[in-house]
């Protein structure tokens, strides 16, 4: 009996017992659907985070105060303009800007929004990958003159004015010193960024000259610097050299620490891989249950077809022929369950991903692996029933009632 004949017999047997076959497949369907959905959502989450980090800047290095050593930090350890100019001269640094942020509200024409104020200099646009739609960014002249200028995104422009044609318009920023008028000089492209949205609790980011923010909040120093490194493979070397230079300038030790997006991406990938593995292991339990279900139903099938097996053996069927017939049926039941599971998993991933605002990413490799696992389960758990069928004595089988 060839393999085509075995497949035909297996399909006819499955069709003859549709409900029983479906219930047998159920464990495989649930397990494979869960594995596919988990993989798709995990891949989508990983892609979204990586995309957000690329927008944020993968060759972006942040150096800030080592707050784990907070008790030993003094005012003379904080960053200043002298540090910025000294760091700018280091090899491998493309651009550098201070890190200084504050929260406030902007209002105009009866509209009001909560914002994060980002202190910016002439390098900030390069470091933070800001894309302008209209106008210009903060310039060196804005910083030196402490101009009360502002760059907002198109989303905030529409919320405040109902249009993006807002160059030259004024907004009012509320501070502890009272309301301050700011002139809009640029409108940036609004990019949905999962990372910045999480860090800023969904509040808008607007850019103001760093000197203006320091004057408004009566500040003299910065708590960190943002650096764009020319080559991201040179990130560790640049961070080491930068910290050594700062320690030399401030005559201190272990007061600064460095962080970059590559480190965060690596950490996030490890966490997502661990979570996906754990959830996959839980889903594998359903596959194990499905495999046991296949074994049980195949044992029932062997019992129901003892006389059929006896007749086949009596007319010359070999043991290997009987073994292959039942293994084929077991594998096809499992494969059909796997295919249905892949389809359901694909639909589930779309539904869940849309709720989480993530792109579902299903790789063909994972679909092939899921299919192979399904067939493998059918074969592994079908070996015992098939072996039992092939070992039946033809005389005893023919006498079976």
Distance, in Å, from the CA atom of 218 to the CA atom of 235, rounded to the nearest integer, reads 33
Report CA torsion sign: 206, 80, 199, 238: positive
- List, in sequence order, the alpha helices (H) in 17-69: 18-56
The helix-helix angle for 235-250 and 81-88 (nearest 10°) equals 140
- The rounded distance, in Å, linking the Cα atoms of 197 and 186 is 21
Are the C-beta atoms of 78 and 64 separated by less than 8 Å?
A: no
Nearest-angstrom CA–CA distance, 337 and 222: 60
User: pLDDT-derived band of residue 202, with 50, 70 and 90 as boundaries?
Assistant: low
CA distance 337 to 26: 7
Closest CA to 150 of 178, 116, 110: 116
Residue ranges of alpha helices (H) inside 134-251 are: 140-145, 154-161, 194-199, 210-216, 235-250
Give the tens place of pLDDT for each residue, 127-159: 888 889 999 999 999 999 999 999 998 988 998
- The pLDDT tens digits for 208-243 are 999 998 888 888 888 899 999 988 788 888 989 999
Query: pTM for this structure?
Result: 0.63
The span from the first CA to the last CA of the chain, in angstroms, equals 26
Secondary structure of residue 12 in the 3-state scheme = helix
Mean pLDDT of 2-22: 77
Mean pLDDT value across residues 106-131:
88
Contacts of 217 (CB under 8 A, 6+ apart): 102, 175
The structural domains of the chain, with segments of one domain joined by +, span: 3-52+266-399, 60-260
pLDDT tens-digit map of 327-351: 888 888 888 888 888 888 888 888 8
How much is the pLDDT for 241? 92
Instruction: Report the alpha-carbon distance of residue 387 to residue 319 in Å, rounded.
Output: 9
Helices 3-16, 319-356: inter-axial angle, 10-degree rounding: 60
In the three-class reduction of DSSP (H, G, I as helix; E, B as strand; rest coil), residue 194 is classed as helix
């Amino acid at each position: 009996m060839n393999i085509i004949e075995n497949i035909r017999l297996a399909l006819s047997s499955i069709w003859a017992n549709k409900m029983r076959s479906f219930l047998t497949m159920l464990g495989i369907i649930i397990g494979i659907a869960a594995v596919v959905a988990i993989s798709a959502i995990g891949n989508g989450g990983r892609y979204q985070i990586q995309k957000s980090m690329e927008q944020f800047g993968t060759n972006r290095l942040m150096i800030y105060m080592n707050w784990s050593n907070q008790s030993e930090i003094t005012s003379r350890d904080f960053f200043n303009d002298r540090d910025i100019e000294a760091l700018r001269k280091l090899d491998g640094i493309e651009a550098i800007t201070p890190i200084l942020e504050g929260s406030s509200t902007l209002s105009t024409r009866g509209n009001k929004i909560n914002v994060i104020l980002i202190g910016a200099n002439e390098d900030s646009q390069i470091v933070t990958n800001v894309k302008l739609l209209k106008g210009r960014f903060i310039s060196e002249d804005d910083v030196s003159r402490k101009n009360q200028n502002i760059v907002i995104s198109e989303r905030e422009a529409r919320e405040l004015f109902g249009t993006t044609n807002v160059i030259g318009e004024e907004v009012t920023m509320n501070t502890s010193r009272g309301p301050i008028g700011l002139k809009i000089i640029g409108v940036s492209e609004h990019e949905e960024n999962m990372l910045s949205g999480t860090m800023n609790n969904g509040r808008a980011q607007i850019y103001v000259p760093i000197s203006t923010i320091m004057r408004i909040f009566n500040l003299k120093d910065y708590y960190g610097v943002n650096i764009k490194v020319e080559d991201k493979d040179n990130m560790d070397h640049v961070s080491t050299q930068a910290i050594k230079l700062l320690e030399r300038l401030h005559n201190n030790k272990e007061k600064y620490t460095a962080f970059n997006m590559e480190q965060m991406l690596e950490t996030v990938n490890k966490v997502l891989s661990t979570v996906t593995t754990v959830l996959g292991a839980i889903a594998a339990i359903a596959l194990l249950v499905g495999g046991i279900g296949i074994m049980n139903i195949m044992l029932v099938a062997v019992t129901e077809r003892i006389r059929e097996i006896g007749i086949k053996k009596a007319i010359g069927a070999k043991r290997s022929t009987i073994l292959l017939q039942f293994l084929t049926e077991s594998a096809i039941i499992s494969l059909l369950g796997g295919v249905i599971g892949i389809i359901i998993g694909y639909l589930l991933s779309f539904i869940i991903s849309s709720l989480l605002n993530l792109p579902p990413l299903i790789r063909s490799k994972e679909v092939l692996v899921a299919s192979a696992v399904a067939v493998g389960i059918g074969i592994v758990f079908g070996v015992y029933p098939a072996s039992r069928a092939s070992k039946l004595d033809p005389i005893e089988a023919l006498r079976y009632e």
